[in-house]
Structure 1
Amino acid sequence: MIEITVEPCVPGLRSSASTLLRAKPPAAGKGAMSLPRVRASITALTLLSLVALVGCELPIHPRDGSAVVQIRVAPDSVALDPSQTQGFVASGRTAGGDSMAVDVTWTTSAGTITPAGVYTADTGAADVIVTATLVGSQVSGVAHVRKRRVAPQAGHVFIVTEENHDYSAVIGSSSMPYLTSLAQQYGLATQYYANTHPSIGNYFELATGQIITNNDSYSTIVTVDNVVRRLLAAGKTWKSYAEDLPSVGYTGPDVGGYARKHNVFALLSDVVNDSSQRTRLVPFIQFAPDLANGTLPDFSNIVPNLCNDAHDCSLTTADTWLGNNIAPLIASPTFQQDGLLIIVFDESGSDSTNGGGRIAWVVVGPKSKPGYLSTTLYQHQSTLRLILEALGVAQFPGAAATAPAMTEFFTP
Structure 2
Amino acid sequence: MSETLPDTLPDPLDGVDEGDEPAIQHLPLDAWHRARGGRMVPFAGYEMPVQYEGIMAEHLWVRESAGLFDVSHMGQVGLTGDGLDAAGIARALEAVLPGDIAGLAPTKIRYSLLLNDEGGILDDLMVTTLPAEGAHPFGEASHYVVVNGATKYDDLAYLLDVLPDAVTLNLMEDQALLAVQGPKAVEAVARLVPGVERLVFMTAGAFAWNGHALWISRSGYTGEDGVEMSVPSEVAAAFADALCDQPEIKPIGLGARDSLRLEAGLPLYGHDLDPETTPVMADLGFALSKRRHEAGDFAGAARILAERADGPAVKRVGLSVEGRQPVREGASVVDADGAVIGRVTSGGFAPSVGAPIAMAYIPADLASVGTTVRLVQRGKIHTGTVTAMPFVPHRYVRAGGK
TM-score range, shorter chain: under 0.3
TM-score (normalizing by structure 1): 0.21
Structure richer in helix, relative to its length = 1
Work out which of the two has the higher radius of gyration on C-alpha atoms and give 1 or 2. Answer: 1
Question: Larger % of strand: which?
Answer: 2
* TM-score (norm: length of structure 2): 0.21
